[in-house]
Amino acid sequence: MEDLQRTLAPTGLSVSTTPEKGRCLNTTRNFSPGEVIITEEPYVCVPNNSSESKCDGCFKSVNLKKCSACQVPWYCGSTCQKSEWKLHRLECQALAGLNKERRKSLTPSLRLMVRLYLKRKLQNEQVFQTTATDNYNLVEALVDHMSDIGEKQLVLYAQMANLVNLVLEWPNSNIKEIAQNFSKLACNAHTICDSELRPLGTGLYPVISIINHSCSPNAVLVFEGRRAVVRAVELIPQGTEVFISYVETAESTAARQKALKEQYFFTCSCPYCRKGIYMEVQESAILEGYRCKTDKCNGFLLRDSDDRGFVCQTCGLVRSKEEILKISADVKQREDQASQFLSSGNCLEASVAYRNVEQLQLRLCHPFSINLMRTRESLLKILMELEDWRGALAYCRYVISAYQRVYPEIHPLVGLQYYTCGKLAWFLGDTEDAIKSLTKAVYVLQTTHGTNTPFMRDLLVRLDEARAEAGSQASTWKKL
């Protein structure tokens, strides 16, 4: 811990401990919006199990070849294979000894745990260097919440620990400790995403794990390859605690608190939640409740006292419980249909079904409903898949206006949505609109993503192109 403090001090950070929250990361100088607060390479990481295989080294999906000895990891080339070899050499021996069935059943979480133990062993043997920010003591210091976990989950962790033990084949493995480490991973490991927030894998970042949660965070975590980067999204004055968000913040306070309690075992008391509890009835009636009977009214509805229906709190009109139940049942049925079409790869039918869901939700839900927003997000994805660019652009705009209500101005999802909007407008030949959207995308994403990654350089080039095109259009006008 002292080692870590000494290493963090010159970067303007310190770690403190409080009885309620445990460890906290604090600033000892000002950080301006967009400034990198801390970066960290994973202690261990593993690509996820999606349909598309990924390189163990860089998580990319191009030119992949399997390790010929154990047939488990993929590599994009000799550079990644070499850089991974020190750790994979031991893993490879362990995996090669398993029968085919067992090797196939190896989930990313099991692999992550195996790698955690191999890394510890290799650091103990000084094959890998140990530093103040890269050592097993930091993993040991992570909370595990074993006492909060239910019986069923404990049994599952014990079973998983046995499988890890079978892979490692170490004479004196401590099954209880392995199970405890699974519990640690569940509340400390991070999902590694690409610049567009698509999940690629899982990694353990024990220093970044010190950062606590807020539903209205002053920092954001993004990934550049496997490296985790935390940036300030607002001015963080000296002597302030750094916060990121562990969960989706668009949901109502009750939904966020439930998610935090279930996965991270704490009750959030951030300023946003305290405000939320005070406003909770109204907030959830808007985000999760129903719309007024008349289209012109934006009032939110609450259950009436004799439970026969829902009353608009603005104009007093009542919607009957039967009507609400009927439409809700229809929505559910259509939604099931839509996701079935989607999982069988039938995008066209899925788009029709989701449009039906949308129409029903427009009659049922408050106009600011989260469910309606989610339906439109799905429609946007499907229309992109179908290459219906004009349709996609329309939904992209709906989604942006919903995001503007549920997210702060500087939020990666807002910036990414503007980026999509800009690309679509550019593709459809609306240069002026493309410039507007791309400019907004740059404004948000240069704070959350920095300016120096291939992803951001791409965005800046697109904006330059759009501006050049607009310039040449303007000069053609003058000549005419």
Binding site for Zn ion (CB under 5 A): 55, 57-58, 67, 69-70, 76, 80, 92, 215, 268, 270, 273, 292, 297, 299, 312, 314-315
Rounded to a whole number of angstroms, the minimum distance from the CB of residue 458 to Zn ion is 20
The C-alpha atoms of residue 73 and residue 26 are separated, in whole angstroms, by 38
Closest Cα to residue 122, out of 160, 172, 87? 87
3-class DSSP assignment, residue 191: strand
- CB closer to Zn ion out of 65 and 332: 65
- CA gap 355, 339 in Å, rounded: 12
Contact (CB, 8 A) for 1 and 141: yes
Q: How far is Cα of residue 122 from the mean position of the Cα atoms in its chain?
A: 31
As measured in angstroms, the least distance from the Cβ of 115 to Zn ion is 12
Pairing assessment for the beta strands 212-213 and 243-244 based on DSSP bridges: parallel
CB atoms within 10 A of CB 246: 22
Identify which of residues 75 and 341 has a Cβ nearer to Zn ion in the complex. 75
Q: How far is CA 74 from CA 45, 61, 163, in A?
A: 14, 9, 22
CB of 63 to Zn ion, least distance (A): 9
How many C-alpha atoms does 97 have within 13 Å on its Cβ side? 10
Using the minimum distance from each CB to Zn ion, give the nearer residue, 68 or 126.
68
Under a CB-based contact definition with an 8 Å cutoff, are residues 246 and 191 in contact?
no
Task: CB nearer to Zn ion: give 256 or 376.
Answer: 256
For Zn ion, the closer CB: 9 or 315 = 315
Q: How far is the CB of 194 from Zn ion (least distance, A)?
A: 14
Q: Which is nearer to Zn ion, 215 or 421 (CB)?
A: 215
Structure token pair of residue 191: 């999902």
3-state helix, strand, coil in the chain (%, to 5): 55, 15, 30
Residue number, 7 or 71, with CB nearest to Zn ion: 71
End-to-end Cα distance, the chain: 71
Residue closer to Zn ion by CB (options 66, 176) is: 66
Closer residue to Zn ion, CB minimum distance, 69 or 461: 69
Nearest distance in Å: CB 348, Zn ion? 36
Contact in structure between 196 and 416 (CB atoms under 8 Å): yes
Q: Which is nearer to Zn ion, 53 or 340 (CB)?
A: 53
Identify which of residues 215 and 379 has a Cβ nearer to Zn ion in the complex: 215
Q: Can you tell me whether residue 44 is helix, strand or coil?
A: strand
| Secondary structure E strands in 225-367 | 227-232, 243-244, 301-303, 309-312, 318-320
Smallest distance, Å, CB 60 to Zn ion? 5
Residue with tokens 């039906």: 356
Contact predicate 300/366, CB 8 Å: yes
Give the Cα separation of 416 and 447 in Å (integer). Answer: 12
Residue 192 phi/psi, 5-degree rounding, is: -85, 125
Q: How far is the CB of 395 from Zn ion (least distance, A)?
A: 27
Question: Least separation, in Å, of the C-beta of 277 and Zn ion?
Answer: 10
**How far is CA 139 from each of CA 6, 25, 44, 156, 206, rounded to the nearest angstrom?**
18, 16, 11, 21, 6
DSSP 74-122: EESSHHHHHHHHHHHHHHHHHHHTS-HHHHHT--HHHHHHHHHHHHHHH
The nearer residue to Zn ion, 158 or 297, going by C-beta atoms, is 297
CB of 152 to Zn ion, least distance (A): 28
Nearest approach in angstroms of CB 78 to Zn ion is 10
CB of 304 to Zn ion, least distance (A): 13
CB of 279 to Zn ion, least distance (A): 13
Find the helix or strand (DSSP H, E) in which 377 lies: helix 370-385
Cα–Cα distance between 427 and 406 in angstroms, integer?
28
